């Protein structure tokens, strides 16, 4: 079976159009038809029915099964390609979310330097959602991420590093800095600084607003946690962050939140169950597991 035929078939089922499928792959329509014919012969069954070019497009029960399997097969094929390409490279690809990286990477790199392993690790920084996608598709080997719920599935080996509460942070110069506790619903007229969509801090902000039924103004959005903290220090707005964010920062006051049910986040280390580590990569993983966040 030609793996490309399976890709053509998957796209055909999604578009339900030979023309659009051919255009997508920059092929002729007869090439797509030939690929579907080869698959039908390979599995000795009819996969799709379309009596005329403009006629009704029907996926047979066998065709639906092959479509579902094609998604799994093509994902596995892409992951395998990445693993094979990296097989002779001793570097461990570590995905780190911005916040975890802020408080974790310095400690990790210091320990790796002791073992002369700094050149054996590649750091990829991205939001937690993006890192999960990269891990699933073999773009990274391990991920250090924050999650809004405990991770427990058969695709990853997960280790919980810590549980984090959520804090409101303001500049020491902000009038509200004198408080240790504030009701979130009372902040409806305040200006907030948030992370962009796709980051866990933005999800937290949106959820707290929903729970308190308030819609405070967003003064700035960023995809860099360090920039967010600097903007708060300059008293350009307040922010809702996990307790790790302001750790060690001077000029920022962390305030406890009331008025809404508390939401925790969870810091995890994730490893795909099917990843094959070299001896050097395994040594780095051992060091990662020993670092305290």
**C-alpha separations of 128 from 98, 119, 202, 241, 265 in Å:** 9, 24, 12, 15, 12
pLDDT attached to residue 221: 95
pLDDT at 283: 86
Nearest to residue 284, comparing CAs of 169, 122, 164? 122
Range of weakest confidence among 53-57, 89-93, 281-285 = 89-93
Nearest 5°: CA angle at 59, between 54 and 65? 160
Q: What angle do CA 103, 108, 111 make, to 5 degrees?
A: 140
pLDDT in the model for residue 22: 92
Give 205-226 pLDDT, tens digit per residue: 999 999 999 999 999 999 888 8
- Pairing type for strands 58-59 and 48-49 reads antiparallel
In which residue are the tokens 């729970």 written? Answer: 211
pLDDT on residue 83: 65
Q: Are 273 and 154 within 8 A, CB to CB?
A: yes
Task: Let me know if 142 is exposed, middle or buried by CB neighbors in 10 A (0-12, 13-18, 19+).
Answer: buried
Distance CA 293, CA 289 (A): 10
| Residue 104 C-alpha from the chain's centroid | 18
Residues 23-47 have pLDDT tens digits of 999 999 999 999 999 999 999 999 9
Predicted pLDDT of residue 88: 58
Contact 245, 267 (CB under 8 A): no
* 7: nearest Cα among 24, 79, 136, 19: 24
Say how many C-beta atoms besides its own lie within 10 A of residue 57's C-beta. 15
The whole-number pLDDT of residue 153 equals 64
Higher per-residue confidence, 109 vs 279? 109
Q: Is the pTM of this model over 0.85?
A: no
């Amino acid at each position: 079976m030609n793996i490309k035929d399976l890709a053509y078939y998957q796209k055909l089922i999604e578009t339900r159009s030979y023309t659009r499928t051919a255009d997508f792959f920059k092929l002729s329509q007869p090439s797509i038809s030939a690929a579907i014919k080869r698959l039908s012969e390979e599995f000795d069954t009819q996969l799709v029915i379309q009596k005329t070019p403009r006629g009704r497009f029907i996926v047979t029960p066998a065709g639906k099964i092959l479509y579902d399997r094609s998604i799994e097969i093509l994902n596995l094929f892409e992951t395998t390609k990445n693993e094979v390409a990296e097989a002779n490279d001793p570097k461990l690809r570590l995905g780190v979310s911005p916040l975890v990286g802020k408080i974790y990477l310095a400690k990790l790199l210091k320990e790796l330097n002791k073992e002369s392993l700094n050149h054996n690790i590649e750091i990829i920084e991205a939001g937690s959602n993006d890192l999960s996608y990269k891990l699933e598709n073999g773009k990274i080997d391990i991920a250090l991420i924050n999650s809004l719920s405990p991770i427990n599935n058969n695709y990853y080996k997960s280790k919980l590093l810590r549980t984090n509460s959520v804090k409101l942070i303001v500049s020491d110069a902000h009038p509200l800095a004198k408080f240790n506790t504030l009701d979130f619903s009372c902040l409806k007229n305040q200006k907030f600084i948030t992370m962009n969509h796709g980051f866990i801090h933005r999800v937290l902000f949106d959820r707290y607003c929903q729970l308190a039924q308030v819609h405070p103004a967003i003064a700035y959005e960023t995809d860099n946690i360090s920039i967010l903290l600097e903007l708060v220090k300059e008293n350009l707005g307040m922010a809702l962050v996990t307790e790790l964010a302001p750790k060690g920062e001077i000029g920022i006051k962390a305030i406890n939140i009331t008025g809404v049910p508390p939401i925790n986040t969870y810091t995890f280390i994730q490893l795909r169950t099917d990843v094959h580590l070299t001896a050097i990569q395994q040594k780095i993983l051992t060091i990662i597991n020993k670092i305290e966040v």
